[in-house]
Amino acid sequence: MKYRVWLAVTGALWIAFWAMDLANTMRLKADGALVNVAHIGILVTGLLAEMLGWRLARFINVGYFLLVGSYTVVQAFALELKSLTPASDAATAIGLLALPMLAQGIVNFAIYRSRARQRASN
């Protein structure tokens, strides 16, 4: 049951992050609002699937973080190589967004793996 608390708290923090980014995007009238809505929708779906005990939850809660975190690293490096952004922007994107998302995905994977081993041993 502790793992569900972990997933709920961290999921709520990521939803709050994307909601704040959505508000900032709308305030600045910039592009990207639909992307933020999609992130929020995926995270809410992952939390709902976990609460309902669906097996799909592990794919959402692991795959989302690993995929988006990896994509952010690749995108930051690609923009850096093309000199489209200052180096500090790429480092900020990797340090504040990509690495925490990758860490979250790895921790979620470890949680689901240990739960599967517990079920197999019972």
Q: How many CB atoms lie within 10 A of CB 48?
A: 14
Distance CA 36, CA 84 (A): 22
pTM: 0.85
Exposure string of 63-80, with b = 16+ CB inside 10 Å and e = fewer, is ebbbebbeebbeebeeeb
Mean pLDDT by 10 residues, the chain (122 residues): 86 93 90 90 93 91 95 85 74 85 95 91 84
Measured in whole angstroms, the distance separating CA 83 from the mean position of its chain's CA atoms is 26
- Quote the tokens at residue 16: 């709050």
Spatial separation of the C-alpha atoms in residues 54 and 103, rounded to whole Å:
23
pLDDT given at position 97: 87
The rounded distance, in Å, linking the Cα atoms of 12 and 47 is 9
